[in-house]
Amino acid sequence: MNELNVVVDAAKAAFERAGTPADLENAKAQFLGKTGRVTELMKGLAALPVDEKKSRGAAINQAKQAIEDALNARRQALAEIELQAQLQAEALDVTLPGRQRGAGGLHPVSLTLERIEAIFGSMGFAVAQGPEIETDWFNFTALNTPEDHPARSMHDTFYVEGGSAAAPNLLRTHTSPMQIRYAVQHVKKHQAAIAAGSMPEIRVIAPGRTYRVDSDATHSPMFHQCEGLWVGENVSFKDLKYVFTDFCRTFFESDDLVLRFRPSFFPFTEPSAEIDIQFQSGPLAGRWLEVAGSGQVHPNVVRNMGLDPEKYIGFAFGMGPDRLTMLRYGVNDLRLFFDGDIRFLSQFQ
Ligand code: DAH
């Protein structure tokens, strides 16, 4: 075999043995590098007579070209091997089921609160939020429930640090303190209009959490209420009746639902009434279900709002969103709302 072919074969074999790009570069140096075998052959040309130089030079160049071709082929092969290895290492099994994140949803009572806000909102009621830690003044006294009033004992609550002995802080037992808080702000804001004898009506609902020392299937120490207040110069019981009937029918999506205003007592309203509803069809048909307390705002309360009870008259109501939720969905134990059991809660999504 021709000496040049031996060199070419040796180079091809060396390139083939190279398992990595670094090995291949080392092998290349042995043949094409400064002291490589092809380079040495080139140097040998100098000693040849002129007529031989030409043909020998052409032969060496051919051998060099063959070696370079083999080198490039091996480079490509190694790159291909590397790519395949990488693809295999990072292989994704697209047939595996994806990782799922359960979609969250709103709590059934939150759904009810949103519904209440939307319905009253459409009737021109603003929505107000107030503190859950209240003062004795807003929770009781301003609502015509002075100390020693027997109605206070029905509102046994949690007293918290921070107030004085005469005016302790407490967790609000109802949302009614928002009547005073909201009205006082309204009066402040519309001072000029009031002085001129034309106050824009107060029309607000105040949903939120409330607290009492109470715990069984229909009472929870923490529960929800939604207060409503409507005060103006010409607001009457008829308006309350109309608005509340409309609310109940929209809320329960039922037109054959009747309301009953049953005389009752609350210190902050006179006269006072419990509002009962009765479905004419469906699983609850025929039973009277209590859904709210209501009444004409007591003159003392109107005065505590900063308004003249001779000029301004109002109606208020307080309802229980927890109970409305139970009635709407047919839930019979209030505690289910506060246990945080996903199996129960996910049924409302
Ligand atoms: N605050 C009362 C309660 O928790 C409910 C209530 C009754 C609210 C009559 C009112 C009302 O606004 O007019 O028992």
pLDDT-wise least confident of 122-131, 140-149, 327-336 = 140-149
Please indicate, yes or no, whether residues 112 and 85 belong to a single structural domain of this protein.
no
Q: Is the pLDDT of residue 345 over 60?
A: yes
User: Percentage of residues in the chain with pLDDT exceeding 70?
Assistant: 99
Mean pLDDT, range 70-77, rounded to an integer:
94
CA atoms 238, 247, 310, 177: torsion sign: positive
Please indicate, yes or no, whether residues 127 and 31 belong to a single structural domain of this protein.
no
Q: Is the pLDDT of residue 168 over 90?
A: no
Among 202, 203, 268, say which to mutate for ligand 1: greatest number of ligand atoms within 8 Å of CB: 268
Please indicate, yes or no, whether residues 186 and 38 belong to a single structural domain of this protein.
no
Please indicate, yes or no, whether residues 31 and 180 belong to a single structural domain of this protein.
no
Predicted local confidence at residue 111, as pLDDT: 97
Predicted TM-score (pTM) of the model is: 0.72
Model confidence at 26, pLDDT cuts 50, 70, 90, reads very high
Assign residue 73 a region (left: φ > 0; alpha: ψ between -120 and 50; beta: otherwise).
alpha
Please indicate, yes or no, whether residues 84 and 144 belong to a single structural domain of this protein.
no
Most confidently modeled of 38-42, 149-153, 213-217, 242-246? 242-246
Cα separation, 158 vs 226, whole angstroms: 20
Q: What is the CATH number of the domain that holds 250?
A: 3.30.930.10
Predicted local confidence at residue 144, as pLDDT: 95
Residue linked to tokens 């009457």: 236
Please indicate, yes or no, whether residues 136 and 85 belong to a single structural domain of this protein.
no
Distance 223 CA to ligand 1 centre (A): 14
Higher model confidence: residue 152 or residue 224? 224
Domain extent at residue 240: 108-348
* Position in ligand 1 atom list of the atom nearest CA 319: 5
113-139 pLDDT, tens per residue? 999 999 999 999 999 999 999 999 999
Predicted local confidence at residue 233, as pLDDT: 96
Distance 176 CA to ligand 1 centre (A): 6
Whole-number average pLDDT of the chain: 93
* Position in ligand 1 atom list of the atom nearest CA 297: 13
Q: Which of 275, 293, 140, 142 is nearest to 227 (CA)?
A: 293
Protein residue with its CA nearest to atom 13 in ligand 1: 294
Predicted local confidence at residue 1, as pLDDT: 53
Here the tokens at position 250 are 């929209």
* Position in ligand 1 atom list of the atom nearest CA 225: 4
Higher model confidence: residue 217 or residue 175? 175
The domain boundary, picked from 55, 89, 123, lies at 89
Structural domain total, the chain:
2
Predicted local confidence at residue 209, as pLDDT: 97
What's phi and psi for 78, nearest 5 deg?
-65, -40
Higher model confidence: residue 147 or residue 70? 70
Please give all residues whose beta carbon lies within 6 A of any atom in ligand 1, as ranges: 174, 176, 227, 266, 269, 272, 293-295, 316-318
Does residue 194 lie within any of the structural domains? yes
pLDDT-wise least confident of 105-109, 154-158, 294-298, 328-332 = 154-158
Does residue 102 lie within any of the structural domains? no
Distance 295 CA to ligand 1 centre (A): 8
